[in-house]
Amino acid sequence: VQLVESGGGLVQTGGSLRLSCSASGLTFEDYVIGWFRQAPGKEREGVSGINGSASTTYYADSVKGRFTISSDNAKSTVYLQMNSLKPEDTAVYYCAAVGGRITTAQAMHLMAYGLGSWGQGTQVTVSS
């Protein structure tokens, strides 16, 4: 399984970015894809997740109403649309994948412990 993130960058407070996670080497529909972030000196945080059929999504309270996760199964790609960005959203954003007959919440829990396959990360910096 290979995951490649893209779309990070520098944006001002209130701005928007769309991250992409392109997956290969897996049957996309059988996996839960999650977005995590880690800021310097802070623990890794689960941001959002989506299952293979896009029927179930997860959002951390800190991003609800601002971030939207979606997927394009034909492209094996998951997107994270981030609006109304805040300086506290600054972090390296990673996507991860876990397969199996588990719920999105269960998958996010497993990935929070570092399980599954991970991408290399993309930097998001929000200036004040």
Nearest to 74 by CA among 11, 29, 120, 21: 29
Nearest to 121 by CA among 96, 98, 92: 92
What are the residues facing 85 on neighbouring strands?
Answer: none
Average pLDDT estimate for 34-43? 96
Q: Which residue has the tokens 């034909």?
A: 74
Chain segment 83-119, per-residue pLDDT in tens? 999 999 999 999 999 998 899 999 999 999 999 999 9
Nearest to 43 by CA among 125, 114, 106: 114
Asked if 4 and 75 touch (Cβ cutoff 8 Å), the reply is: no
Chain segment 52-84, per-residue pLDDT in tens? 998 999 999 999 999 999 999 999 999 999 999
